[in-house]
Protein backbone atom coordinates (compact mmCIF):
# COMPACT_ATOMS: atom_id res chain seq x y z
CA UNK A 1 0.00 0.00 0.00
CA UNK A 2 1.21 3.49 -0.87
CA UNK A 3 1.58 5.58 2.28
CA UNK A 4 1.48 9.38 2.10
CA UNK A 5 4.56 9.96 4.28
CA UNK A 6 6.61 7.51 2.18
CA UNK A 7 5.44 9.20 -1.01
CA UNK A 8 6.47 12.63 0.31
CA UNK A 9 9.92 11.28 1.24
CA UNK A 10 10.40 9.84 -2.26
CA UNK A 11 9.30 13.09 -3.92
CA UNK A 12 11.52 15.18 -1.61
CA UNK A 13 14.57 13.27 -2.84
CA UNK A 14 14.13 14.92 -6.25
CA UNK A 15 14.39 18.43 -4.75
CA UNK A 16 18.00 19.20 -5.56
CA UNK A 17 20.19 20.25 -8.45
CA UNK A 18 17.85 23.01 -9.61
CA UNK A 19 14.56 21.11 -9.22
CA UNK A 20 12.45 23.12 -6.80
CA UNK A 21 8.95 21.64 -7.13
CA UNK A 22 7.60 18.13 -7.64
CA UNK A 23 3.89 17.52 -8.18
CA UNK A 24 2.08 14.19 -8.47
CA UNK A 25 -1.26 14.29 -10.31
CA UNK A 26 -3.84 11.73 -11.19
CA UNK A 27 -4.62 11.48 -14.89
CA UNK A 28 -7.59 13.82 -14.51
CA UNK A 29 -5.20 16.62 -13.57
CA UNK A 30 -6.06 16.67 -9.87
CA UNK A 31 -3.11 17.27 -7.56
CA UNK A 32 -2.42 14.34 -5.27
CA UNK A 33 0.84 15.39 -3.61
CA UNK A 34 3.32 18.22 -4.04
CA UNK A 35 6.62 19.17 -2.45
CA UNK A 36 8.71 22.28 -2.95
CA UNK A 37 11.81 23.98 -1.64
CA UNK A 38 11.21 27.23 -3.52
CA UNK A 39 11.62 30.31 -1.28
CA UNK A 40 7.96 31.25 -1.85
CA UNK A 41 6.87 27.61 -1.83
CA UNK A 42 3.19 28.17 -1.07
CA UNK A 43 2.66 30.68 -3.87
CA UNK A 44 5.03 28.85 -6.23
CA UNK A 45 3.41 25.49 -5.54
CA UNK A 46 -0.06 26.92 -6.12
CA UNK A 47 0.97 28.49 -9.43
CA UNK A 48 2.81 25.37 -10.61
CA UNK A 49 -0.05 23.10 -9.56
CA UNK A 50 -2.61 25.28 -11.30
CA UNK A 51 -0.63 25.51 -14.54
CA UNK A 52 0.19 21.82 -14.66
CA UNK A 53 -3.25 20.61 -13.58
CA UNK A 54 -5.00 22.91 -16.09
CA UNK A 55 -2.88 21.54 -18.91
CA UNK A 56 -2.60 18.02 -17.49
CA UNK A 57 -5.52 16.55 -19.44
CA UNK A 58 -4.20 17.93 -22.73
CA UNK A 59 -0.64 16.92 -21.96
CA UNK A 60 -1.58 13.43 -20.77
CA UNK A 61 -3.77 12.76 -23.82
CA UNK A 62 -1.10 13.95 -26.23
CA UNK A 63 1.67 12.33 -24.22
CA UNK A 64 -0.19 9.02 -24.05
CA UNK A 65 -0.91 9.02 -27.81
CA UNK A 66 2.75 9.76 -28.61
CA UNK A 67 3.94 7.26 -26.01
CA UNK A 68 1.96 4.52 -27.69
CA UNK A 69 3.41 5.41 -31.10
CA UNK A 70 6.99 6.16 -30.13
CA UNK A 71 7.54 4.43 -26.77
CA UNK A 72 7.80 7.88 -25.19
CA UNK A 73 8.77 7.77 -21.52
CA UNK A 74 8.87 11.44 -20.52
CA UNK A 75 8.67 14.95 -21.92
CA UNK A 76 10.67 18.06 -21.04
CA UNK A 77 9.28 21.49 -21.84
CA UNK A 78 11.54 24.54 -21.82
CA UNK A 79 10.01 27.93 -20.99
CA UNK A 80 11.51 31.39 -20.52
CA UNK A 81 11.43 31.05 -16.74
CA UNK A 82 12.42 27.42 -16.34
CA UNK A 83 11.96 23.80 -17.35
CA UNK A 84 9.13 21.36 -16.73
CA UNK A 85 9.50 17.60 -16.89
CA UNK A 86 6.48 15.34 -17.20
CA UNK A 87 6.32 11.54 -16.99
CA UNK A 88 3.59 8.97 -16.59
CA UNK A 89 4.00 6.53 -13.72
CA UNK A 90 1.31 3.95 -13.16
CA UNK A 91 -1.98 5.80 -12.81
CA UNK A 92 -0.17 9.03 -11.97
CA UNK A 93 1.57 11.89 -13.70
CA UNK A 94 4.81 13.29 -12.29
CA UNK A 95 5.61 16.96 -12.89
CA UNK A 96 9.00 18.49 -12.05
CA UNK A 97 9.71 22.23 -12.15
CA UNK A 98 13.32 23.33 -12.45
CA UNK A 99 15.26 26.54 -12.95
CA UNK A 100 16.45 27.42 -16.44
CA UNK A 101 20.09 26.67 -15.57
CA UNK A 102 19.27 23.09 -14.52
CA UNK A 103 20.92 20.67 -16.95
CA UNK A 104 18.26 18.89 -18.98
CA UNK A 105 20.07 15.59 -18.36
CA UNK A 106 19.65 16.00 -14.60
CA UNK A 107 15.94 16.68 -15.03
CA UNK A 108 15.66 13.57 -17.22
CA UNK A 109 17.46 11.40 -14.66
CA UNK A 110 15.21 12.61 -11.84
CA UNK A 111 12.09 11.93 -13.92
CA UNK A 112 13.26 8.44 -14.84
CA UNK A 113 14.19 7.67 -11.23
CA UNK A 114 10.83 8.82 -9.86
CA UNK A 115 9.05 6.98 -12.65
CA UNK A 116 10.90 3.76 -11.77
CA UNK A 117 10.17 4.07 -8.03
CA UNK A 118 6.50 5.04 -8.40
CA UNK A 119 5.41 2.88 -11.36
CA UNK A 120 4.43 -0.24 -9.42
CA UNK A 121 2.93 1.47 -6.33
CA UNK A 122 0.81 3.78 -8.50
CA UNK A 123 -0.34 0.87 -10.65
CA UNK A 124 -1.75 -0.86 -7.60
CA UNK A 125 -3.72 2.14 -6.27
CA UNK A 126 -7.49 1.79 -6.61
CA UNK A 127 -8.58 3.95 -9.60
CA UNK A 128 -11.51 5.26 -7.53
CA UNK A 129 -9.08 6.68 -4.96
CA UNK A 130 -6.48 8.10 -7.32
16-42: per-residue pLDDT in tens? 999 988 988 887 777 788 888 877 767
Ranges of each domain in the chain: 4-123
Per-residue burial over 87-122, b if 16 or more Cβ lie within 10 Å, else e, is: bbbbbbbbbbbbeeebeeebbbebbeebbebbbebb
Selected from 3.30.450.30, 3.30.70.260, 1.10.8.60, 2.40.30.10, the CATH number assigned to the domain covering 4-123 reads 3.30.450.30
Q: Interhelix angle for 4-12 vs 104-123, to 10°?
A: 170
pTM for this one? Answer: 0.81
- Per-residue model confidence (pLDDT) at position 70: 62
Amino acid sequence: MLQQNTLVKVLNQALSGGVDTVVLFNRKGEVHTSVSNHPDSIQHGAIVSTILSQSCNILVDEFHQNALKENLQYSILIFEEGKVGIALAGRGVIGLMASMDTPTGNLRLKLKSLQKHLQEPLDTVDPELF
